[in-house]
Chain A
Amino acid sequence: GAVVSQHPSWVICKSGTSVKIECRSLDFQATTMFWYRQFPKQSLMLMATSNEGSKATYEQGVEKDKFLINHASLTLSTLTVTSAHPEDSSFYICSAPGLAGGTSQETQYFGPGTRLLVL
């Protein structure tokens, strides 16, 4: 299946700093990517849809000025957590749509996630 990578895999930062997380589709192109956040013992929550060449679409309740998304190319989307605070500590996961193996149907392929700890 398709491979999606994320960098960094974990990051610790001081409160008030900004953190950038990269999501790359390694062997396919993605005009759309998705960003999720997951708190401990909770499910994945969709934050926003990243669109190559246009603005991201944010889910209700997600601050677009807080979580800046840039879809710079067909294989790269970045999520920047601006002025991070301890409550932003979470597991951030991206996904990109690709063809399910041996079919012509699309499914989502997920990155390994980035664990953010804000002190």
Chain B
Amino acid sequence: TQLLEQSPQFLSIQEGENLTVYCNSSSVFSSLQWYRQEPGEGPVLLVTVVTGGEVKKLKRLTFQFGDARKDSSLHITAAQPGDTGLYLCAGISSGSARQLTFGSGTQLTVLP
């Protein structure tokens, strides 16, 4: 069974601070996705990273895929209250292109 561990599980910070969320696995994934989920809604895709070492930026969010394609990080610069939500990483293995393996999520709260 492939597992994705996210850390920290909970994070509460003040507006304007920076933060990093980590997603780690002992398994190799062909690609990895990050989602954000708000209460009562389904996850919404933020980014897909495919190449080992890849870095993608989405405004104040920076996503990195580890060289070995086993881990990833999400860095948020100058967090805003609107960034509050559950951040989920999800791995796609080369053996099954039809299902995502999700991490347990990081609940981020940005206080004004």
Q: Do A and B come from one complex?
A: no
